[in-house]
Structure 1
Amino acid sequence: MSWWAALPGALALVALWVLPGWAVTRALGARGIVGLGAGPAVTAAMLGGLGVLYGAVGVRWSLGSALTGLLGVVLLAAAAGALLRRRSVGRLVVPAPGAGVWPGEWFGPSSSSSSAASSAWWRGLALPAPFARAEAAGLTLALAVAAVLIAGPMVAGMGAPDRPEQAWDAVFHLNALALVRESGNASTLGALAPMYGGGRPYYPIVWHAMAAVAPGLSSVPAAANLQNLVLGAVVWPAGVAALTRVAVRPVLPALVAPVLAASFVAYPTVVLTVLAPWPYGLSIAVLPGALAALVVALRTPWMWGPKLAGTLIAALALGGTVAAHGSGAFSVIAVAGALVVVVLARQARHWWAGRPRLVTVVAVACAGLFATSALAVARFPALRSTLGFERGGADSYVPTLKKLLVDAPLVYEYGDVGFGHVAVTVLAAVGAVVCLLRRRARWLVLGWAGAVVLVLLAAGPVENPLRGLTGFWYTQAARIAPLIVLPAALLAAVGLTAVGDRLARLLGGARGGATASGGPRALVASVAVLVMVVATSGGMRWGVKERVTASVYEPGQIAWGTMLTEAELAMMQRLPDQLPADAVVLGDPFNGSAYLPALAGVDVVFPQLGAVQGAHARTLESSLDQIRTDPAVCGAATALGVTHVYTDNAGAADGAKVHERTAAMRALDTSSGFELVDSGGTARVWRLTAC
């Protein structure tokens, strides 16, 4: 499959992720960049709810049913928006000096044609002033540049849109995607039961639900790859721009933030490729847009209609972040928890003078609700499993801190990644100083520092009792690192515009003329600094991102060992015509056989690399080499309906992925009791006749 052939499917995914949620936010009053940035998070919430609803009533999940449900939600939002607008009055409200938590102008008068209204909040939702035409063009250009800088190296590293990623979690998610397509069930409550041996296990399946109905992408790997590209290169930068616009207020930081965010390897490259927890990657992709909606809701005046509309949008967006992956709730707390606490505390203090009893009742009720929710969540089996995940750590925090300074991957060892990211780190530090000195957006500094602490705790000594705080992210530093990226990108944008403003002042003074802060010279200086950062970082570290991506896509270069070679991939494409429809294949999942459901539509005994479920499966895993001498082996194979066996004699010395758990499966003797069906490279598929 060529990239040109995949382009229509990618554009369709962009539309599916952005438009439904954008339509809902617009119907409820959120216009401009906020609606655009928060739209995908709202879409995620809609998909999560529809999946559970359809699963409960027996409606098959398909593109048609998904679109019908999304349209229904949009119509409901339109009706709700019309009702809420009757409570609103259309006039401007300008906050008093020093009121609120956010600034109007940071660096003096803006050169923007919309600067006259930049500190004015529309009565209704507290949205930033609309972009002027030139500003909108600048934002479009910035988002396009960010998309190229993020997607370009990933595309180069993938090689082809339908090439499967070879990573532990990727195997699971590709097969889960294939299962959703086959079963027509996209409910988080039990859709993946066949992969867990039955029951109704909870699993966040929003990522799979959308990829399963991707138009024109019949290939499972292509749907997965293109969706990840859309999330990383389109959804994420748009959310970053939206959050910057509402958190920082001036226009220029919102224009440069998406490009600066493209410098980071920790997200989206590492998370969406070598790490591969794709539902978590979706949760991070929609996080900035959801936080933008949260900021708007907190800032909106306490009038019934507007406040309810803003709260509803924020609830949907934050709900989408959590629906994408449960850890999204803790990601929101880690990045913006300080903001919420400070704003609500200030509002409570303001109300205390006239309504102390009401404030007390509300505070007690909120505390009780929080405690009850915390206790209920703590008893959730999935959360207990996550918190109980054991992972080793380093003896010192210093190596991880060094990696954070240059944004080196915190998973696998890629060697020297250079110092191309140092400029962005310095700009983020400058931005943090600016925020602290000007007493503006200090919650970004707290979020940045808190995320750094969490990463260090996860990667550091295991005996630290505070390390338990990182259990919400499987105690994995690479999973927490994206929480550093988000505030760091915004702070770097503040730092860059501050540097540009200072340069403009110096140049203006040198020429004997006064230069207004934030004027045309500041714009030119800021763009010049940004161009220098892009140039000195090697195209925002294009080579590093391509290398990381190739390490899970290019056979022979796969981190932790290759599971599929090109010859084996070709064989899998032939198998649907060579195996019966009811075939069940038994094979070592680490040698590539686990990819058969996703690549060939063939059932397997082991569809994932994780712990084996069921006594029969465990017997086959531990004793397959005794198939001729131990009747229990044939008994287990018969019980599971095994018809074929997949073998691969490549070992660790050949660069293949091996695991001690499946040593007996690699030792299988196929000299008798097996009939060859097809071969590719070192892999063979046999018809089982020994049982």
Structure 2
Amino acid sequence: MWVVNDERCSMAWWDLGPTWLAAAAVYFLPGLLVLVCAGVRRLPLAALAAPMSATLAGTAAVLLPFAGVPFTPLTYWLAAATAALAAVGARALWRRSRAYRPLVLGAQGPLPAADLGSVAAGAMVPLGIAVAALIIGYRFMNGFGSPEAFSQTFDNVYHLNAVRHIVATENGSTLTLGNLTAASKGLYPAAMHDMMALLVMLGAPSVMAAVNVGTIVMGAVVWPLGCVFLVSRIVGYRPIPLLIAGVLSSAFSAFPYLLVAFGVLYPNHAAVALLPAVLALAVEALGVSRTPPTSPVAPVIALAAVLPGLALTHPSTIPALAAFAAPAIINRTVLVWVEVREGTAKRRAAVGWMIGTAVYALVSLALWIVLRPNLSTAGWTSFQSNARAIGEILSSAPMGTTIAWVLLPLTVIGLYVCARQLRRYAWVAGMFGVGAILYLVVSSWSNGAFRDFVTGIWYTDSYRLAALLPLVTLPVVVLGGEWLIWRLRWVVGTALHRLGEKRLPQLQRLPERTTAAVGVAAVLAMGVAAQGGTLSGVQERLRTIFATTPASGILSTDEVALLREVPAYVPEDGVVVGNPRTGASLVYAFSDRTALAPHIFGVRTPDEQLLFDHWGEAAYNPAVCPAIERLNAYWALDFGDKEITPRAEPLSGVRDLADGSAPGVELVHSVGQARLFRVTACD
């Protein structure tokens, strides 16, 4: 039941138990199965499960139509089982090979107990991830308000209908998702929509609930897992910094919240959530991780396995990956030359790395050019000074959000640590610099060819590049946080020792783990302190964007109520005419009835354009009824003249039906000013 007075659905989040279980089965289980069969274990297994599942879903959706097989949960899991069997076979063949060497991915062995104790040390990684998941999940649920809430923004017309389209057609191919009609088939990254559509097929109560659950899973679980895995490649498998990484992955307003509170940019959001784990693999493959692998084969294979999922979720993350990995490959090349001078490496290896770096630069440049979208619709311009942009970068407060006072000093200290340990962390600082430059250029540099070239992949949109900043800032923050925690522990330990010498000798017998406990408490305190003004502000923005009111941007209270009742008046095979710019085309997502134009953009067939311009003239325009009969488009929604994105195209065929000036058209049902009509002139 819908509650009209506050525009929220009475369904509670705990009513979605089966959908949460379905999300685990869709987002993690297939990837876990394949990775386990490939021999991956521990943290890499958990962090790479979702990226691997994205690859399986996106590629299966592309390939199945060529075999005439529908895209369903069953075929998705069969594809995963097939990939798992292939992994088992490949592993068996490798074991029998004369060149056999164990392929190890990620750190092995237990977490070092340090002075925490083995049990406590082993709990740090799951504790950090759990804290982040609870905080991020709570903020999303509080911001959405209801499982059935939806973003009242322009892009959501497409995203919600795309999920419904995949469910209805059992075809989620990136090659054809396009603008959701036969006349507008074309490329659109579909992996995120595919996984959300699977949730609907598995019984999610609505498209909106599936989208919200999928968004929360990506932001609250996949993102922290990837962040911890990335930081483990930088600092090693040590408990305190990994705890910091998990806890503070929830401290940024720019991600995972900003792309959902703006746009709404669901595919970008999902792809950025996957990016840390993929970047971690690139770091390990390049040999600059804290504990370099004995062989780059395992991370290279894993990287090749998850890249398709990243690209099919949103291709803009591929150039981002290339840009962020560039400092690592440069750092590795420089280190090899240093090793040559020290006599620990051969000159041939250094030359090989130089050639590889040059090839990498050329390939990255090609990606930068080829993946660039048409900028004719990119209307975002710079809006601030360089000084302000730099301040926003250092304070993790992009797009005018409140300064993150906890993150600001940790970022500065982290950069100091990078400078002090340049040989080890130069590439970490370089990665931060790349993200900073991208945001600086897009938000504060003059509009022109250079700005378009550097940031055109992201439509010169500051929000999209702001969302990448947490990925490159978090490692720096972790280094600063670890430095601070060790100094705090030293101060506490020294104070206890001196106090024991003077007054309380028993304090000298306190185990070292006492100061370790102080460090853990300090990390958790930092996490709590970071949940301040900037995050409260972005959460309130979510509440505003996801609220349905009598004057909402896409659908008003009355219009939502009418859409819920459309199935009682329109048969399952009926097609509904409606101006997509008024939100009427969301009849597809909400009512499971085909919209004549499920997206605001797209190519119209002659019949479709005729009905958009003349549907209400059926009684006296001889061309209209034949088109209505061919398309079975006897119904129309009139949601008034307010449009989310006004355009020159008039679409006047369904306007002003309510004034009675259209003969041969009857009012079927209405809720307030929202009306459903049926043409009778063609009976």
TM-score higher than 0.5:
yes
Aligned length: 643
Q: Is the 8 A contact 2:132 2:250 kept in 1?
A: yes
Q: Secondary structure at the match of 2:676?
A: strand
Please state if 1:562 is matched with 2:553. yes
One-letter amino acid matched to 1:642: A
In 1, are the aligned partners of 2:228 and 2:246 still within 8 Å (CA)? yes
Q: 5 Å matches for 1:496-511?
A: 496-511=481-496
Q: Secondary structure at the match of 2:373?
A: helix
Partner AA of 1:683 in structure 2 = A
Inter-CA distance 36–85: structure 2 relative to 1 (3 Å threshold): farther
- The whole-number CA distance in structure 1 between the counterparts of 2:356 and 2:605 is 46
Relative distance call for 1:85 and 1:133 in structure 2 (3 A) is farther
Partner residue of 1:646 out of 637, 662, 668: 637
The one-letter amino acid paired with 1:332 is L
Residue 161 of structure 2 is aligned to residue 168 of structure 1 = no
> Hey, what's the Cα distance between the residues in 1 that align with 2:369 and 2:134?
42
Does structure 2 conserve the Cα–Cα contact (< 8 Å) formed by 1:497 and 1:526? Answer: no
What secondary structure does 1:216 align onto? coil
Residue number among 90, 110, 129 corresponding to 1:130 in the alignment: 110
Contact 1:27 1:77 (C-alpha < 8 Å) held by counterparts: yes
Deviation at 1:423, TM superposition (A): 1.4
Alignment of 1:29-44 (within 5 A): 29-44=39-54
User: Partners of 1:403 and 1:358 in 2: how far apart?
Assistant: 41
Alpha-carbon shift at residue 357 of structure 1 (Å): 6.7
Residues 17/251 of structure 1: CA separation in 2 closer, same or farther (3 Å cut):
same
2: CA distance, partners of 1:292 / 1:128: 15
What value does the CA root-mean-square deviation take over the aligned residues? 3.7
1:433 correspondence with 2:419: no
Counterparts in 2 of 1:417 and 1:340: CA distance versus 1, 3 Å: closer
After TM superposition, give the deviation of residue 564 of structure 1 in Å: 1.6
On the 8 A contact 2:368/2:457 being kept in 1, the answer is no
Counterpart CA distance in 2 for 1:229 and 1:565 is 25
1:367-406 pair list within 5 angstroms: 371=362, 378=369, 383-386=371-374, 389-394=377-382, 396-398=384-386, 399-404=388-393
Inter-CA distance 529–275: structure 2 relative to 1 (3 Å threshold):
farther
C-alpha distance in 2 between matches for 1:44 and 1:430: 36
Q: After the TM superposition, which of the residue ranges 58-67 and 453-462 deviates more from structure 2?
A: 453-462
Q: Which amino acid aligns with 1:283?
A: A
| Residue 526 of structure 2 corresponds to residue 533 of structure 1 | yes
Q: Superposition pairs for residues 166-565 of structure 1, below 5 Å? A: 166-192=152-178, 194-195=180-181, 197-199=183-185, 201-214=186-199, 215-249=202-236, 250-299=238-287, 306-344=295-333, 346-347=335-336, 371=362, 378=369, 383-386=371-374, 389-394=377-382, 396-398=384-386, 399-404=388-393, 407-408=396-397, 410=399, 418-419=402-403, 421-439=404-422, 440-460=424-444, 461-463=446-448, 465-512=450-497, 520=513, 523-538=516-531, 543-556=536-549, 561-565=552-556
Return closer, same or farther for 1:321/1:519 CA change in 2, 3 Å cut-off: farther
After TM superposition, give the deviation of residue 372 of structure 1 in Å.
7.0
Cα distance, 1:179 vs structure 2 = 0.9
Deviations 1:416-456 (A, max 9, x none): 8544x221122122112112212233322222222122122
Contact 2:240–2:520 under 8 Å retained in 1: no
Letter paired with 1:452: A
Q: In the TM superposition, what is the alpha-carbon distance from 1:539 to its structure 2 partner?
A: 5.6
Superposed CA deviations along residues 501-541 of structure 1, whole A, max 9, x for unmatched, are: 112222333344599xx963553343343344344444685
Equivalent-residue separation in structure 2 for 1:350 and 1:85 (angstroms) = 33
| Structure 1: distance between partners of 2:393 and 2:364 | 34
AA matched with 2:310: T
Unmatched 5+ residue regions in structure 2? Answer: 1-10, 112-117, 501-507
Partner of 1:422: helix, strand, or coil? coil
Q: Secondary structure of the equivalent of 1:649?
A: coil
Contact 2:151 2:545 in 1 (8 A): yes
The one-letter amino acid of 2:204's match is: L
Q: Which residue of structure 1 lines up, in the alignment, with residue 585 of structure 2? A: 594
Q: 1:67: which partner in 2?
A: 77
Deviation at residue 206 of structure 1 after TM alignment: 0.7
* Mapped partners of 2:372, 2:530: distance in 1: 42
Moved more, 232-241 or 586-595: 586-595
Q: CA deviation at 1:175?
A: 0.8
Once residues 609 and 441 of structure 2 are traced to their aligned partners in structure 1, the CA distance between those partners, rounded to angstroms, is 36
Contact 1:620-1:636 within 8 A present in 2 as well:
yes
Structure 1 length-normalised TM = 0.83
Task: Give the distance between the partners of 1:579 and 1:281, measured in 2 at CA.
Answer: 35
Distance change (3 Å), C-alpha of 1:85 and 1:252: farther
The 3 A distance-change label for structure 1 pair 338 and 377 is closer
Offset of residue 584 of structure 1 = 1.9
454-463 vs 147-156, which moves further: 454-463
Is the alpha carbon distance of 1:123 and 1:348 closer, same or farther for their aligned partners in structure 2, counting shifts above 3 Å? farther
Distance of 1:136 and 1:272 partners within structure 2 = 33
| Amino-acid identity (%) | 25
Q: For 1:139-193, what per-residue CA distance to the aligned partner results, in whole angstroms no more than 9, with x for missing partners?
A: 2222221112111121112122122322222221111111111111122212446
- TM superposition shift of 1:262: 0.7
Mean alpha-carbon deviation: is it higher for 82-91 or for 290-299?
82-91
Aligned residue for 1:263, secondary structure, equals: coil
SS in 2 for 1:230: helix
1:281-303 CA distance string (max 9 Å, x none): 22111111112222333339999
Structure-1 separation of matches of 2:627 and 2:439: 44
Aligned twin of 1:10: 20
